[in-house]
Amino acid sequence: MYLCSAGYVTTGIGNKLANAQEAIALPWQHKATGRPATPAEIRTAFERVQTMTSEFRRVDLKAPNPFGAQHYEKVSDLVLPDGAANQLAVDRLEKDFLKGLRALFPGFDGYPQPAQRALVDMAYTLGVRGLETKFPTVVKACREGEFTVAAKHSHRKVKATEGRKGDERNVATHNLFLEAARLTSSVQALTREVRP
């Protein structure tokens, strides 16, 4: 449990916990012993983390949080079991992104899997609306099945200071689109061959 840069209690890969009840619904356990946490312990941890906004909002009530997630380990030893954070991300994917992606790309479910994965990653970082408005060439290319073009225009801005992290993500997305293009072209070649 940590405060995100906007000051909300959050867990896993950016999953906001709106209140203590949402936190209690998750399978928290004590880091050292692995013992499951009680609802009271989870509530206490949530409230402790939440009150830590006072560390950076004494003067500016909306000041961004200058602390990283590990800063909050000192007030709570509760962690989610291995895989739980990923599961939360998958749930969020189903709920928040796939519906929007299917609306933006009517043929989404028929796209090669690497293209779907690339689009999910882009939607995760940009939001579906951000993908639509900021990357119109990618959207058009995917709708037309031109995944090589999508690869070429999928690059999200990386600052000179951003180092490895931003680049790795861009390279992975680029490669997924290229793989989708290769699969599409293989399928097209196969279709031509088996056509009577």
Partner 1 sequence: MIRHVLFLVAFLLVTSDGRVVRGAPGGPATMMPSPLRPITWSARVAGPRRSELDQALDKALPDPWNMFDRKTGQRQEARTCRDLLGLAPTSDPMDIHDDGSLPTDLISNDWNVYDGHLVRCRIVAALQSAKPSLVDYLGTFALDDARLKEIPAAVIPTPSEWEERRLKKSSARGMSWKGWDRRIRVTKTFASGVTVESPDTRCFLSVEGRGDFNGDGIEDLVLSRSGGGQEGTWSSTAAFVLTRRSPHARIEIIRVIE
CB 39 within 8 A of CB 26: no
Which range binds partner 1 by CB under 8 A, 35-43, 45-53, 54-62, 177-185? 54-62
C-alpha pair distances (Å), 102 with each of 27, 114, 119: 31, 16, 11
CB 38 within 8 A of CB 30: no
For partner 1, the closer CB: 123 or 176: 123
Rule CB under 8 A: choose which of 102, 130, 144, 171 binds partner 1.
Answer: 130
Counting residues that bind partner 1 (by CB under 8 A) gives 44
Q: Is residue 162 a contact residue for partner 1 (CB under 8 A)?
A: yes
Instruction: Give the count of alpha carbons within 13 A of 174, CB side only.
Output: 10
Tokens, residue 178: 């290229």
Rule CB under 8 A: choose which of 30, 43, 48, 71 binds partner 1.
Answer: 71
| Three-class secondary structure of residue 17 per DSSP | coil
The H or E element that residue 65 is part of is none
Main-chain dihedrals φ then ψ at residue 19, nearest 5 degrees:
-155, 175
Rule CB under 8 A: choose which of 137, 175, 186, 188 binds partner 1.
Answer: 137
Our measurement of the distance from residue 66's CA atom to the centroid of its chain's CA atoms, rounded to an integer in Å, reads: 21
For partner 1, the closer CB: 101 or 184: 101
For partner 1, the closer CB: 115 or 122: 122
Query: Mask of contacts with partner 1, 79-118, x by CB under 8 A?
Result: ----------------------------------------
The H or E element that residue 120 is part of is helix 113-134
CB 150 → partner 1: shortest distance, Å?
13
In the complex, the residues that contact partner 1 under the rule CB under 8 A are 2, 4-5, 10, 13-14, 56, 59-71, 123-130, 133-135, 137, 153, 155-157, 159-165, 168
